[in-house]
Amino acid sequence: MTRVFSGIQPTGDLHLGNHLGALVNWVGFQDRADCVYCVVDLHAITSPAEHDPATLRERTLETATLLLAVGVDPARSILFVQSHLHEHAECTWLFNCVSGFGELRKMPQFKEKSEGKGETVSVGLFDYPVLQAADILLYHADEVPVGEDQRHHIELARDIGQRFNHRFGEVFTLPRAIHPPAAARVMDLQEPTSKMSKSTSTDKGIVNLLDDPARIERKIKSAVTDSATDIRFDRDAKPGISNLLEVLSAATGRSIEELIAEHDGHGYGAFKAAVAEAVIELLRPIQTRYRELASDVGEVERTLADGAARARAIAAPTLARAKDAVGLLPPA
Ligand code: TYM
């Protein structure tokens, strides 16, 4: 059976970009693949500005709870916290030794996040994609459901796996990224030429999965658009309207052509109201389920403990094979 792996940083309240770009596919894959999903807390400590120890612990649990609310089903999938397995950090070291300084320096997300920080950028931020490669390759993942922004990271994981196999023998399966047909890159509502992002968007630019209906409506109705009146898809000339079309398409499962035919000619106001309603209805059951799950933290913790044990049963033998292939002497 196809093996699927994906991860998400523990930002607590996840947003519509995370949901439409990745999580909808995480949930969908459970019907047809063997799925492993991870809250990547080790990745979340690579940017000192965003790292507060007490908040990190809370958000890790909140993110796991929200993943369950979205529909990750522990009866069918493995859900665990990255730092609960030492194998990820250990495999990263093996991969560090087959990764090039040049290829990491070119990673678009590293370039973006390190801009202006000069020599103070952490080695962790630089090494971030190597840890991500370890996440994926330890599980022999065939497919990795992610938003468009992760494309280069998945390609790097593939390159690292290929290089390792070439030097030391076939240990790792080479993964490929899977993006949704619409909304693989959800844009900031206030700045529709930048991606919706926890770290760079303002609150008005982001729809959080736990925002109440009135707030969602307000944010979508005040989304920045252009001064024309026609509804058509053109990312360059009409980034705001194109973003809302993608969101509506992903939220309703209807094609962009169909949505244009229905809404063009009726004005931006009515169109935005339709987008807001679709997003509110999409998130309503998730919010209800989140409130139920959040009332029993113990149950979420038990799910994560069980997930870590099941994850280790896959990752530990892979790491052992990799260490053996490299020539590390096993303990007597
Ligand atoms: P993260 O935590 O930033 O985001 C989680 C998922 O949400 C997607 N996403 C988006 N999709 C569409 N539009 C957006 N505006 C948007 N913002 C975020 C991301 O593409 C991602 O799929 N490096 C990863 C976490 C990670 C990982 C992994 C992913 C660590 N190890 C192994 C896959 C496999 C990240 O920071 O995602």
Render pLDDT for 201-251 as a digit per residue (tens, 0 to 9). Answer: 899 999 999 999 999 999 999 999 999 999 999 999 999 999 999 999 999
| Rounded distance between C-alpha atoms, residue 323 and residue 332, angstroms | 15
Identify the pLDDT of residue 47.
83
CB 190 within 8 A of CB 223: yes
The per-residue pLDDT for range 51-83, each reduced to its tens digit, is: 899 999 999 999 999 999 999 999 999 999 999
Average pLDDT, the chain: 96
Residue with the smallest CA separation from ligand 1 atom 19 is: 147
Active site residue 219: no
- pTM here is 0.97
Active site residue 113: yes
Exactly one of 106, 111, 113, 117 is catalytic; name it: 113
Identify the pLDDT of residue 199.
84
The per-residue pLDDT for range 267-293, each reduced to its tens digit, is: 999 999 999 999 999 999 999 999 999
Mean pLDDT of 157-163: 98
**Best residue for ligand 1 mutational test, from 14, 29, 146 (most atoms within 8 Å of Cβ):** 146
Identify the pLDDT of residue 49.
73
Exactly one of 195, 219, 238, 272 is catalytic; name it: 195
Q: How far apart are the CA of 82 and the centre of ligand 1, in A?
A: 15
pLDDT > 90? residue 12: no
Residue with the smallest CA separation from ligand 1 atom 37 is: 8
**Residue 233, Cβ density class (10 Å: 0-12 exposed, 13-18 middle, ≥19 buried):** middle
Ligand 1 first shell, C-beta below 6 A = 5-9, 17-18, 21-22, 40, 43, 132, 135-136, 144, 146-147, 149-150, 153, 184-186, 195-197
Identify the pLDDT of residue 18.
98
Q: How far apart are the CA of 169 and the centre of ligand 1, in A?
A: 30
Identify the pLDDT of residue 85.
98
Residue 13: which pLDDT band, with cuts at 50, 70 and 90? confident
The shares of helix, strand and coil residues in the chain, as percent rounded to the nearest 5, are 60, 10, 35
The per-residue pLDDT for range 90-147, each reduced to its tens digit, is: 999 999 999 999 999 999 999 998 888 888 899 999 999 999 999 999 999 999 999 9
Q: Which amino acid, 97?
A: C
How many helices (H) and strands (E) in the chain? 13, 5
Residue 23, CA distances (Å) to 37, 189, 215, 286, 292 in order: 10, 20, 22, 12, 20
pLDDT > 90? residue 192: yes
Specify the 3-state DSSP secondary structure of 224.
coil
Q: How far apart are the CA of 150 and the centre of ligand 1, in A?
A: 6
Q: How far apart are the CA of 146 and the centre of ligand 1, in A?
A: 6
Identify the pLDDT of residue 73.
98
pLDDT > 80? residue 50: no
Residue with the smallest CA separation from ligand 1 atom 6 is: 18
Identify the pLDDT of residue 116.
84
Identify the pLDDT of residue 138.
98
